[in-house]
Amino acid sequence: MPINIESVDPTRAALVVIDMENDFVAPGAPFEVKAARQLLPKLKQVIGFCRDVGISVIYTTHVHRRDGSDAGRFADIYPPIADGVGLVDGTPGIEIYDEIAPRPDEVVIKKHRYSAFFATDLDVILRGRGIDTVIVAGVTTEDCCHATARDAMFNDYRVAFLSDCTGTYDYPDMGYGELPADEVHRSSLIILAFSTAHVMTADELMARVAV
**Band of pLDDT at residue 158, cut at 50, 70 and 90:** very high
Quote the radius of gyration of the chain (alpha carbons, Å).
16
Rounded to 5°, angle at Cα 46 from 205 and 61: 115
**Band of pLDDT at residue 211, cut at 50, 70 and 90:** confident
Q: Percent helix, strand and coil across the chain, each rounded to 5? A: 40, 20, 40
Tens of pLDDT, residues 173-199: 999 999 999 999 999 999 999 999 999
User: Are residues 23 and 87 in contact, defined by beta-carbon separation less than 8 angstroms?
Assistant: yes
**22 HSE (CA, 13 A, CB side):** 13
In angstroms, the CA 192 to CA 148 distance is 11
Tens of pLDDT, residues 89-129: 999 999 999 999 999 999 999 999 999 999 999 999 999 99
pTM confidence score: 0.98
In angstroms, the CA 147 to CA 117 distance is 9
**Band of pLDDT at residue 2, cut at 50, 70 and 90:** confident
